[in-house]
Structure 1
């Protein structure tokens, strides 16, 4: 490839100050895109990051982006960041495109261009790898593993092998859900404007054979989202095809698929295309926060979906319904490792439940302690009789519920280290698993069929473990800890959108976390 001459245009800006670069009309540099470079004055890096300074120093402060293909590939990668819910101009797209378009730049402008390319590479790689924002800067009760990325070796590989695009792909989360979210955003961007669709307002639930004006609006929404075939006539009769379409829509949104359009289903139907795009964008960011490696064996909980998946070698070997924290007592997001199981656990009442539940109920009726098989201990660990309990000192006591069928933790508890003192456990309220919306606990996670989960975890420790053996231990009534030797990671996560074989999936933002994150992303 032939070289081209770079002459000053007088319009470039210094990447540090944002001010126009000084004119130097006599200054001319020749750049051969394939192999020729020139040296940048080391003082030009005084305000740069340690990593960028180090990289250029190791290259004797020579320019890095002489290869035209590398530059254009980076521009394409920045443009493609839209599919990740990111904004190309956060990575200087317009400025870089203007530089690339001009074939007559001064040496100073060429230096500015080279450094801006490097800065943009670093920023995009970092954001794809760990997110534009930090979880702890958005949510107080998120405790995820800190992700670190050494970008210099990636830049070296990208420039040496001319694989900028492949390096950016490697920075993205490798998870199927993340890729499905990227596809979701592409799909949503392909849909027509929906602003002409009227909102559905219902006073009473719409049921089979109802003939109402709202039914036509429901059908139009279902047709827009392709749950109802577009060839079907839009009438005001709630017929069989419409009911089946509503069931499909309800399944995609985590509702019980009864085919009845109540207020919850109507609210979901009314959510606009723009709001759904925002929902996908914030979930893309969350997945960039999540660890790239869940571990060989892991328990993964999706809080808004009320589900737990047991993962082994990246394959899902079991799924369980779960109950999670109420909106005013949310289950925290965290990464941890399971360290032991407890058969016939006791339950020590945590501060929130003590304040909001136990104290007012015990004040009203001291039989509360006997009815709940609960013992009271003072600071010196002396047992206090219920009739001696002083409600004014309620928060100075320790309250322990004995093992048994009425125990809040049920027959088994799965423990893992975390600063929130939450864990997985059985429950004495198993009827809750029949509900579609299960944000009902005080923060800990209740799991359905916990002995099946325990058997799969324990069988990796010793093949002799099975549900019969666990049931025998439960029947004995003794509290017993089973410590784990093998690593079982625990990931309590939060995502409200994805795409699978059944199409776009959305879940209710039960803790109202989406809006605040979207605002952070667009600031």
Structure 2
């Protein structure tokens, strides 16, 4: 399947944004400007500002109004130009929207450029457009999105390559000219293996893929491609452009130089990427929070490994899913009451599995193992109560322990069979990021599902019309976190 290509795409997406020294410019010469209000614009630098803003389609910002006001011939005009420049610069450097206002929880570190100093230097040097162009992410992923978005907007008055809904369902075994387009989108969404996307016949492999997709979206999984199935698969050019603009905005929210050693989890696609000294060391599947128990977008480090963890059941799960099941259920699942809490003891049935990756945050979110290994085979892996379950978590824990020089301590802890804590010599940053556009082997953007329907808030903040698509409806299969 295409999952390997999509996983590798994280290399070029928001997770590896390159640095940008042009954020601040030369500090000494910019310091000569006593106040940002004293920036002295010329007709040339004002023209550069207008040119840069006129080209904002390259950043998916063309639905927003960045009107340039001011005339460099007078002081009031200079100040108006400065205000316009700073507003547009902020949109490029840190995003046109504030994620902490769009999302209930957002604690991922954001860029902190000194835009006033940078603008002062750019105006003094006569390089306003160059400076503005340098503020957005400079990596290949952002450039690919920019190119694709610009092309879509250029063609916006032309026909959209949608899958026509003729009012007639496509039954298994039927032949239909729409099948190749449907197959391509099933491949892009990870439901169908690329080698199965052949011809214009609705094959058994495609039927199985459609059934899985229907189940994930709460549609009767009969394999018949009707209006509902087409509604999920059918993305117009405007839909694609909107998703790409949102993806670029989410990338602008992120630091340009993230920690060289870190763990990134894409909540939307259920993938984990482990970066070591600036290089991608490992990728694997992850299970994240189901809709209504969403995994929040956090920046939070792992500070210790926990071998053979116990699990103290949160009050919400205790009340809604365990209380009333009786003592037999507790015994069967190795649970017991301790000081008013239900605690699950270490062992193969423990909902945290055999390892927990303890993290520092106020939301009780962490990475862990799971006994429910079958869930990693799902395409939509939004199945937990909010924490992140890691595929082959024991192997991943051993990898981290070896890299951090605590492998012997970790192996001894595992051998005890009891809950044992292994502190890491240094914390490993973790970013839980939400990104619905990935990249294929050819570098082309691939639109994936928006399982939490979070993109609409970002899109409307960018000036797009509100549009709620089909929402993933996955049912949690266990009581684990």
Shared fold by TM > 0.5? yes
Map 1:508-523 → 2, pairs under 5 A: 508-522=449-463
**Quick one: distance in 1 between partners of 2:131 and 2:45?**
12
Residue 82 of structure 1: aligned partner: 57
Residue 401 of structure 2: aligned partner: 458
Of 474, 491, 506, which residue of structure 1 is paired with 2:414?
Answer: 474
**Quick one: distance in 1 between partners of 2:67 and 2:356?**
51
Residue 19 of structure 2: aligned partner: none
Q: Return 300-309 or 145-154, whichever deviates more.
A: 145-154
Residue 338 of structure 2: aligned partner: 377
Of 185, 199, 206, which residue of structure 2 is paired with 1:241?
Answer: 199
Of 27, 35, 40, which residue of structure 2 is paired with 1:64?
Answer: 40
Deviation at residue 219 of structure 1 after TM alignment: 4.3
Residue 19 of structure 1: aligned partner: none
**Quick one: distance in 2 between partners of 1:300 and 1:331?**
13
Map 1:275-294 → 2, pairs under 5 A: 275-294=239-258
For structure 2, the residue ranges without an aligned partner over 5 or more in a row are 1-29, 189-195, 215-222, 465-481
Residue 336 of structure 1: aligned partner: 300
- Kept in 2, the 8 Å contact 1:298–1:311? The answer is yes
Superposition RMSD on alpha carbons, in Å? 3.6
Is the aligned partner of 1:507 residue 2:448?
A: yes
Q: 1:226 to 1:111 in 2, by over 3 A?
A: farther
- Kept in 2, the 8 Å contact 1:184–1:499? The answer is no
For structure 1, the residue ranges without an aligned partner over 5 or more in a row are 1-53, 101-106, 228-237, 379-396
Secondary structure at 2:303 match in 1: strand
Deviation at residue 426 of structure 1 after TM alignment: 0.4
Map 1:86-485 → 2, pairs under 5 A: 86-87=61-62, 90-93=65-68, 95=69, 110-191=74-155, 192-194=158-160, 198-199=164-165, 203=169, 206-207=172-173, 210-211=174-175, 215-219=176-180, 240-242=198-200, 266-359=230-323, 363-378=324-339, 397-462=340-405, 465=407, 470=410, 473-485=413-425
**Quick one: distance in 2 between partners of 1:144 and 1:442?**
20
**Quick one: distance in 2 between partners of 1:444 and 1:175?**
30
TM-score of the superposed pair, with normalisation by structure 1: 0.70
TM-score of the superposed pair, with normalisation by structure 2: 0.76
**Quick one: distance in 2 between partners of 1:246 and 1:290?**
43
Deviation at residue 297 of structure 1 after TM alignment: 0.6
Per-residue CA deviation, residues 295-350 of structure 1 (Å, 9 max, x unaligned), is 01110000111100001233211001011111011111110111111000000111
- Kept in 1, the 8 Å contact 2:57–2:150? The answer is no
**Quick one: distance in 2 between partners of 1:63 and 1:115?**
8
Report how many aligned residue pairs link the two structures.
413
Q: 1:479 to 1:89 in 2, by over 3 A?
A: closer
